[in-house]
Structure 1
């Protein structure tokens, strides 16, 4: 490995980072470039080209490229994603009420088909009539499909038949639930599959943009993507299972934090433009969430680091509540395009409007707000309602003031739906703008930030007083609010890890007194038992104050701004396969998982078959994921209680995990 360089890339909601890493020398070069939603390759090339120029390393020396991203996480947190059609086999409408499936489905179409299997893999006949009738229309109104069958983890035959038929008619991407999880729990598996389907086009665009850039530059190294548990998978597998990349960026940051700090025990908090991600390092390892990652309020079946993601970041929307005697502020969960960034990219479209609004004697309800297309391909706008399509056509590639765009109250809800689809950015005030006014950030247009803050500061609270004395005064209030909210979400994550998540850190009077250092006969205080590691480009400007509020040691490592990209290249490939053995009747043993059902009449023979099948499946998947010479570890879980003196096998689970370093290019 000593002769090889590894290229790590992290594509976030605001910035794309790149690092060139050498196993002996560490970080050789690093760079950032704005993430370009309309063409992700532009942001990738900006960061990678800058790194290659600084490092002066021949392209042939790059033996591995690894990518982490927060785009999937951000999309789920913000409720974004393509329109997907859900096909439920053997389920009924009542099953949508479980595990948040109905809420996640929203207005997307669902088809129920008779069929499915029993716990032992026995079939209920499949009837695809409803699918055949709906497919011609659906093929033009969705961007992908999700298929979930009853007990498909025991027998996936019906999912495969439905998948093949959908692909034949629609030629659209199709995700099957058995491809994502071997766990029981149909509705939650269906939810995970639905979310995966919505993310397919987004991750496909990202991986495709990266692959296209590498090809144009003549970089022929294998390409990997970070999974949500910190392991690596090949780019081709990531495109099939993009849901596994939720928490990819946070997982990579945790791996990077361990490498950069050498700390075995720490609370790691990574602030980006859209989210704050909090996790705990114990004995040098990240805790894993065995129940499945929770993102955007939904618990999935994706095994990932026990990372808690909150819609709070440098580009979070500022919301002012001016109804009380004094104004209060809340940040997030939605990300806005900061005014300073919008004006940096489109000065002539933004600055004159802000100046005109500030000269006006009266405040407008949409002052300081703009809309602009995100730039994603037009085909992803499939299925828009007529009023949505009409409004979308009025929004272009340059920001347009909301006062000009919106002519009725109802159009605001329409605009919000376009934002939720990921088609439109809202531009407005954020903590990043506040930092520009306070002189702690300098990369974008500070004048636009000042104008926006002066506009907002003119607002009146319930007592008729301005909500802030000046733009700088409001900027400090915003930064103070970010410090407080960040402290609350870090505490919430730590309390949940301690098993006392029923304490609401955001609304607890006791925690409020402790964070405020409130005086009183009874004095409340709170602190962490380990250092707080702050990651992210803006960590140095935010985290000392956050650590101070939490009475914790602040650790902001060198290269904290590219920890994700570093974590992307120092991880391992890992794949897991689970095979089950059950007994539907005395003397009969059914082997299910990682292939067709197998019926045997001897327990020892069935166990040997399950072990071999699990090992082979894990090795096969690890090699597909990009592992070089993987090693297998097998765990056996036998549920066989003694009943009236007789041993009764309920279920046996054989869990094989294959792991190894990623395959690299060699001379």
Structure 2
């Protein structure tokens, strides 16, 4: 009897992948479609329709749909997301300097309110006057709110009151810090909450697009989303906590890599259009980041796989420094639209401009580069400043040459802000264009790629010579640079795993000596103790050379191009809950976490109440996250030192864990 049919979807920065999968059969069909950021349903629809057509499967027979995505990760790496206001309860301005919060906040508004709680959940009175005064103005200037209260993980009452007031007066999405993490560390919890608020609109659009398309296709199956730790979560919960989907795509790729190769010990590197994600498999399981996911320069409190995400991929921006005697190249971290892709969609606009720029006797400052709107809803541009609105108004849905768009030097910074808001795409040369010139990719416009690289190749270095003799020569330099930066990224991740994080492969002369294989009296070499699993559509192009540079073998599975989508359907639902017991005075105990605070007389009674609370909370949470056939486990951490010969409970933490397969539609 055939096992249930699952549909896995991975929405990446460049491609959306889809697979049909059965546990007793594996991959039934797979397909790719370009990710359409302005309307994600189009990319999802293209991939899903293709796998359905290949397989001949009736949509109504699909029992589960699971979605992994790099959209949240890419947004943080590229500095994108909606504008959010941060409300800090019981914190002072000095707290903004901790945990990277000030850097993450940038120019977004912040409000400080008196209030908060102590370690035992006792309150300092809350005063919302400053919030009520600023809410009318902020409601039209931001797209969401983040609320973080002092010791809110012990008592969330003030966060809840502020949340309800904001929703009442603004009707905008609000994220509270206690909803995301039960760990102490106010500023970093506030940072995580702020990032979550910025991501709400991005993930909501993705899930809504998927739901609309699935409904139109008559696929009536539960929709799950991959979390950053590789577990699955219901779509409704992912909408509320989109920050948990950062590293969703990489986590799914690790699960997929393990399934596809059967390897228990390996380094896994997944190259996409925007990012490269690197992690280590030990004993068949990815390690979880003990201190929280690190993405885009931010250390969050989100539980996720221990991996490093680098702004390096097939669509990475190519930077050429021609000021020295020899040109230097670097890639990323920003993703731009490849010229080959831009011309594929807008040939009549892009090709003539590139041809004219190539014929010109004097090069323009921004030759080979264009800009166009991403197609996001117009409402997202309503909060733009005057300069931003002026530049944005000159753009449309067709590429505009930057030479024509940027009249003044100051407008370059304005354009970069529009890109960071997710409203504008920059088009230019990328590694994908280099592969088109070299004949290793062919899905888009090779003519545009060649013209773009010919324009760039004629730039002069400090000695007055062209930086490359031909488009092919420049393409080889770009491919070589991606190979080198990928090797550095993988090596850096492995060194950090070994505790040698003071060695930076990008700046180390010894590592440079090794990777360039320079001759010398002293012989240096490098080698990994396990194979390198290469994932991604371009994995066969890059990873054999990368593995050779790192002294190991490359393993590129047959379905490496859709490993994320496979990983999305072979995971489980996992939920956790933490209940804390403290003792503010002799014989009196306070039970906190998962709801109302209780004061209890007697340690045994308090601990038993905490265990029962943890069980109930985690089961309810697992069900909300889509679990079926739940398996429960508990463990405890007690701080109970001996003081003057007598044992005293200072704090007890009860951890409840629930796992289960996702609920499926019964056929």
User: What is the TM-score of this pair, normalised by structure 2?
Assistant: 0.99
CA positional deviation for 1:516: 1.2
Q: 2:615 corresponds to which residue? A: 615
Q: 1:536 maps to what in 2? A: 536
- Mapping of 1:142-291 within 5 angstroms? 142-291=142-291
Cα distance in 1 between the residues matched to 2:540 and 2:624: 40
- What is the CA–CA distance in structure 2 between the aligned matches of 1:140 and 1:570, rounded to whole Å? 42
Superposition pairs of residues 458-537 of structure 1, within 5 angstroms: 458-537=458-537
Distance in 1, matches of 2:102 and 2:382, equals: 21
Q: Which residue of 1 aligns with 2:80?
A: 80
1:100-499 aligned at under 5 Å gives the runs 100-499=100-499
Q: Are 2:117 and 2:124, in contact at CA under 8 Å, matched by a contact in 1? A: yes
Q: Please give the secondary structure, in 1, of the residue aligned with 2:178.
A: helix
| Residue-by-residue CA offset, 1:486-539 (whole Å, 9 max, x unaligned) | 000000000111111111111011111111111111110001100000000111
C-alpha deviation, 1:376, in angstroms: 1.1
Report how many aligned residue pairs link the two structures: 667
Give the match for residue 39 of structure 1.
Answer: 39
CA contact (8 A) 2:271 2:536 kept: yes
Residue 8 of structure 1 aligns with which residue? 8
| Paired residues of 1:155 and 1:593 also in contact (CA < 8 A) | yes
Matches of 2:382 and 2:594, distance apart in 1 = 36
Q: Secondary structure at the match of 2:534?
A: strand
The whole-number CA distance in structure 2 between the counterparts of 1:341 and 1:25 is 35
Question: How far apart are the structure 2 equivalents of 1:499 and 1:585?
Answer: 42
Whether the 8 Å CA contact 1:273–1:315 is kept in 2: the answer is yes
Distance 1:297 1:644 in 2: 46
Is the 8 Å Cα contact of residues 227 and 244 (structure 1) preserved in structure 2?
A: yes
Q: Which moved more, 1:191-200 or 1:585-594?
A: 585-594
Whole-angstrom distance in 2 between the partners of 1:405 and 1:218: 45
Q: Is the 1:308–1:493 contact (alpha carbons within 8 Å) kept by the matching residues of 2?
A: yes
Question: 1:155-183 CA distances to partner (integer Å, 9 max, x unpaired)?
Answer: 00000000011111111110000000000
Distance 1:161 1:2 in 2: 51
Alpha-carbon deviation of 1:647? Answer: 1.1
CA distance in 1, matches of 2:479, 2:3: 45
Q: Aligned partners of 2:498 and 2:581: how far apart in 1? A: 35
Structure 1 residues 11 and 112: alpha-carbon distance in aligned structure 2, compared to 1, 3 A threshold: same
Mapped to 1, the partners of 2:333 and 2:34 lie a distance apart of: 21
Distance in 2 (CA, whole Å) between partners of 1:568 and 1:3 is: 17
State the Cα distance separating 1:58 from its structure 2 match: 1.5
CA contact (8 A) 1:84 1:144 kept: yes
Corresponding residue for 2:644? 644
Alpha-carbon displacement from aligned partner over 1:6-51 (angstroms, at most 9, x marks no partner): 0000000000000000111100000000000110000000000000
- Pairing 1:546–2:535 present: no
Q: Residue 19 of structure 1 aligns with which residue? A: 19
Unmatched runs of 5 consecutive residues or more in structure 1: none
**Secondary structure of 1:289 counterpart:** coil
Deviation at 1:643, TM superposition (A): 2.3
Cα distance in 1 between the residues matched to 2:629 and 2:166: 36
Q: Deviation of residue 651 (structure 1)?
A: 1.1
Q: CA deviation at 1:585?
A: 1.3
Runs of 4+ in structure 1 displaced over 6 angstroms? none
Q: What CA deviation, in whole Å up to 9, does each residue of 1:313-369 have, x standing for no partner?
A: 000000011111101100000111000000001111100000000000111110000
C-alpha distance in 1 between matches for 2:3 and 2:220:
16
Distance 1:11 1:131 in 2: 37
CA distance in 2, matches of 1:165, 1:659: 35
Contact 1:3 1:61 in 2 (8 A): no
Superposed displacement of residue 381, structure 1: 2.0
Q: Which moved more, 1:611-620 or 1:180-189?
A: 611-620
SS in 2 for 1:38: coil
RMSD of aligned residue pairs (Cα, Å): 0.7
Q: Distance in 2 between matches of 1:631 and 1:74?
A: 34
Whole-Å separation in 2 of the counterparts to 1:170 and 1:58? 44
CA distance in 2, matches of 1:428, 1:547: 29
Deviations 1:230-254 (A, max 9, x none): 0000000000000000000000000
Q: Deviations over 1:47-101 (max 9, x none)?
A: 0000000011122210000000000000000000000011000011111000110
Aligned 8 A contact 1:90 1:114 in 2: yes
Q: Distance in 1 between matches of 2:149 and 2:382?
A: 26
Asked if structure 1 preserves the Cα contact closer than 8 Å seen for 2:642 and 2:648, the reply is yes
Q: For residue 583 of structure 1, report the CA deviation from its aligned partner.
A: 1.0
